């Protein structure tokens, strides 16, 4: 989303009061951007992290999402999924090595998102993190078949003021967040390389409070039928919040950073969330997901959602 596009740091911009300055020695272990030269007129980069299918009550979600849900579409991909459940998506990721015009050489570029025009130094970012609960397979256009992905809240690294402004341009509520680990897609538990964690804390009444916690372990269990297909489909659906501007950002699972030794890794674990990460205090145990590094391409200027609607 433009939260990804806007990971470019605004030179000389101050940090919000009470937030720690970013570590200057932060070096990401994520792999380099493999597609910058293929899409010189778009923003490209990599997105590395944990993508989780969160089973929620279908009835409850229908009360939250202000548009119809394409139930038959996700049931086709997830044939064994419980009929009374809806597959929400949790993304906890690191955006890395963003490029424009195939280069990370410093320069200045104007990004237009709807009516928002942002001028910012063009740099390569390797340490921006974000997390959000998202709701795919939403029928925003009303055509009964085109899937969109909806979210209203995002946790994001505090040293990216342009990221905050860009995400808010979609109507998203953004919360400056300190993540643990601070420079990686997820951390590895000491003495157990198959178990990973990812945590996020925000300031509530002036106190840093943990509002998100992921703990996952690599597994060879069969898991949910269609899980990988669901993840690949959901993360590439156009994203929207207030329905005015849409973010079109396909994720590519067929590049060198997602193949062979780096192919998606199936994981199973626990997610804990508090407001504002999620509307209610919630715990999901024994949930399934994948950990993978993917290339992404973001087409801009970001279109108005209505421009994507099919015409008959």
pLDDT digits (tens, 9 = 90+) for 208-246: 999 999 999 999 998 899 999 999 999 999 999 999 999
* Contact (CB, 8 A) for 32 and 255: no
Q: Choose among 42, 40, 14, 8: nearest CA to 120.
A: 8
Q: In terms of Cα–Cα distance, which of 21, 39, 33, 152 is closest to 95?
A: 33
Confidence of residue 17 (pLDDT cuts 50, 70, 90): very low
Q: Is the dihedral of CA 14, 15, 21, 23 positive or negative?
A: negative
Return d(Cα 113, Cα 107) in angstroms, integer: 19
126 CB-contact burial (10 Å; exposed 0-12 / middle 13-18 / buried 19+): buried
**Mean pLDDT along residues 167-188:** 91
Quote the CA–CA distance of 159 and 150 in Å, as a whole number.
Answer: 25
Whose tokens are 């890794």? That residue is: 265
Could you tell me the residue ranges of all domains in the chain?
2-10+39-308
pLDDT tens-digit map of 40-78: 888 888 999 999 999 999 999 999 999 999 999 999 999
CA-CA distance, 201 to 212, in Å (whole number)? Answer: 7
Q: What is the pTM of this model?
A: 0.85
**Least confident segment among 25-39, 151-165, 290-304:** 25-39
Q: Are 293 and 30 in contact (CB under 8 A)?
A: yes
d(CA 197, CA 172): 25
Domain 2-10+39-308 architecture: Beta Barrel (2.40)
At residue 28 the predicted structure's pLDDT band, cuts being 50, 70 and 90, is low
Beta strands 239-240; 251-252: pairing state? unpaired
pLDDT band at 158 (very low <50, low <70, confident <90, very high): confident
The position carrying tokens 């290339």 is 295
Residue 116's pLDDT is 38
Confidence bin at 127 (pLDDT 50/70/90):
low
Retrieve residue 298's tokens. 């973001």
Measured distance CA(278)–CA(295) in Å, rounded? 27
What is the token pair recorded at 61? 């979600």
Q: Which pLDDT value is given to residue 6?
A: 38
pLDDT higher than threshold 80 for residue 187: yes
Q: Phi and psi dihedrals of 197, rounded to 5?
A: -140, 160
Higher pLDDT, residue 162 or 295: 295
């Amino acid at each position: 989303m433009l939260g990804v596009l806007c990971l470019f740091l605004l030179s000389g911009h101050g940090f919000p009061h009470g937030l720690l300055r970013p570590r200057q020695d932060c070096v990401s272990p994520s792999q380099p951007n493999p597609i910058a030269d293929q899409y010189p007129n778009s923003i490209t980069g990599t997105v590395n992290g944990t993508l989780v299918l969160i089973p929620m009550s279908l009835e409850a979600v229908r009360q939250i999402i202000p548009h119809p849900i394409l139930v038959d579409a996700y049931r086709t991909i997830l044939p064994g999924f419980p009929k009374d459940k809806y597959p929400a998506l949790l993304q906890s990721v690191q955006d890395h090595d963003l490029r424009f015009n195939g280069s990370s050489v410093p320069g200045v570029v104007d990004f237009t998102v709807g009516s928002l025009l942002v001028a910012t130094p063009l740099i390569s970012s390797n340490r921006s993190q974000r997390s959000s609960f998202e709701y795919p397979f939403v029928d925003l256009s009303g055509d009964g078949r085109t899937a969109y992905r909806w979210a209203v809240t995002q946790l994001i690294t505090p040293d990216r003021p342009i990221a905050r402004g860009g995400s808010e341009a979609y109507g998203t509520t953004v919360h400056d967040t300190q993540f643990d680990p601070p420079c990686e897609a997820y951390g590895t538990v000491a003495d157990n390389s198959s178990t990973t964690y990812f945590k996020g804390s925000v300031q509530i009444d002036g106190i840093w409070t943990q509002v998100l916690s992921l703990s996952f372990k690599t597994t060879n269990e069969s898991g949910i039928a269609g899980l990988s297909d669901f993840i690949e489909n959901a993360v590439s659906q156009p994203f929207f919040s207030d329905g005015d501007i849409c973010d079109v950002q396909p994720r590519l699972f067929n590049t060198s950073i997602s193949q062979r030794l780096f192919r998606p890794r199936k994981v199973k674990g626990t997610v804990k969330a508090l407001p504002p990460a999620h509307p209610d205090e919630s715990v999901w145990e024994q949930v399934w997901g994948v950990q993978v590094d993917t290339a992404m391409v973001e087409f801009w200027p970001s279109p108005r959602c209505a421009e994507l609607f099919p015409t008959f």
